[in-house]
Amino acid sequence: MTSPRPVDRDSLDDLERELIGRVRGRVLEIGAGEGENFGAFALDVEWIGLEPDADRRVELATRAREWRHDAEPLDAVAEAIPLPDHSVDAVVGTYVLCSVADQAVALAEVRRVLVPGGRVVFVDHVAAPHGTAKRAIQRLATPISKRWCHGCHWDRETEQALVDAGFVGTDVRRFRARSLPFGPVPILMFEGRAPGE
């Protein structure tokens, strides 16, 4: 398989916004941070944010109000989403599946709260191919980034985790983001669906 092409940050941001802009209805954004994605959502989505970091959640709530989203962001982790079964049409997460403590549990929760056939959009940096120097660096860097960068893991097989959780990719794109100091970082953009009834 040929290596995905390297792309710059602006191009990645544009593609990410394109995928996020496709979701409709009642949308849960997990690990919403300080609301960096607000400009990407269609204006008529009913947005629900989830963010466990208290400081970020304060900023998120402020920005949510600016974007006319009334619901207070949820103080919760993706591994225990305080929403009923089948209660949202879509789930979005950017650079959060690298951070959750347990991907399988978080993705099972995402499936639980989604309506059958509901849409997911996930964007994240992922593990480099087995046997590469990049992967070895990612493995070495992960204990440090886990400790100092909001639980971030550099060595996750996120596409496999999504498939294992039962999601079916409808638009799956893989890139290498230009990055310093260790060179391009593999990026996954996954738009998919939960199984239907």
Q: How far apart are CA 153 and CA 125, in angstroms?
A: 9
Q: Which residues in the 37-66 window bind ligand SAM by CB under 6 A?
A: 50-53, 56
For residue 10, give Cα distances in angstroms to 1, 70, 178, 179.
26, 30, 10, 12
Out of 64, 96, 97, 113, which residue is the one contacting ligand SAM (CB under 6 A)? 96
Q: Characterize the bridge pairing of strands 114-125 and 185-193.
A: antiparallel
- CA dihedral over 43, 93, 196, 83, signed as positive or negative: negative
CA-CA distances (angstroms) from residue 169 to 13, 80, 172, 193?
20, 24, 6, 7
Compare residues 4 and 151 and give the one whose CB is closer to ligand SAM.
151
> Considering CB under 6 A, how many residues would be counted as binding ligand SAM?
21
Q: Which is nearer to ligand SAM, 79 or 168 (CB)?
A: 79
Stretch that binds ligand SAM, among 75-83, 157-165, 169-177, 185-193 (CB under 6 A): 75-83
User: C-beta of 54: minimal distance to ligand SAM in Å?
Assistant: 9
Q: Which residues bind ligand SAM (CB under 6 A)?
A: 30-33, 36, 50-53, 56, 77-79, 94-96, 99-101, 150-151
